Structure formats: C-alpha cells, structure tokens
C-alpha cells in the first residue's frame, strides 16, 4: 500500500473543523506547504478504509507549532 500525507488547516474558532489543503507522497513536501500553526500533516494509506467513528488520527501533527506552544 502507498503511504500519503494529508495536509489540512484547522478552523480558528472550532478546532474540530478543518479544511483540506492537499495530499502528498512525501512528508517533507507536505510540511513545506504548511503556512502557520493551524496547518497539520497526517499520514494515510491509499485504498485503506478507516473507522467511521470519531478517533484520534495516529501520526498527525502540527509541524509549525513551536515547542513553547506545545507546552501550554
């Protein structure tokens, strides 16, 4: 299976809502398009169905969030 990287940005007023920004076959390319701390990157496998219930996204992260912001 092929691994891809989904890029999105969260809504500043509702963190559970997000906008799709692209999909990349290289993690670094996905990180490079992230403009600020509201943009995130998450891995996905092509042709793989995930749970229909709400779950945390394993491996998803915000590459532009600083260490200081993570400590808050």
Give the Cα separation of 69 and 42 in Å (integer): 19
* DSSP H or E stretch at residue 68: helix 67-71
The tens digit of pLDDT for each residue in 41-70 reads 999 999 998 888 888 899 999 999 865 565
Q: What per-residue confidence (pLDDT) applies to 55?
A: 84
| C-alpha span between 6 and 9 (Å, rounded) | 10
- 3 dihedral zone (left: phi>0; alpha: psi -120 to 50; beta): beta
Higher confidence at residue 70 or residue 7? 7
Q: Provide the pLDDT for residue 23.
A: 98
């Amino acid at each position: 299976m092929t691994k891809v990287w989904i890029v999105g940005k969260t809504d500043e007023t509702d963190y559970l809502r997000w906008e799709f920004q692209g999909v990349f076959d290289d993690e670094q390319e996905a990180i490079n398009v992230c403009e600020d701390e509201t943009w995130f990157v998450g891995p996905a496998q092509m042709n793989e169905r995930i749970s229909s219930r709400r779950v945390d996204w394993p491996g998803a992260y915000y590459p532009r969030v600083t260490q200081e912001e993570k400590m808050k």
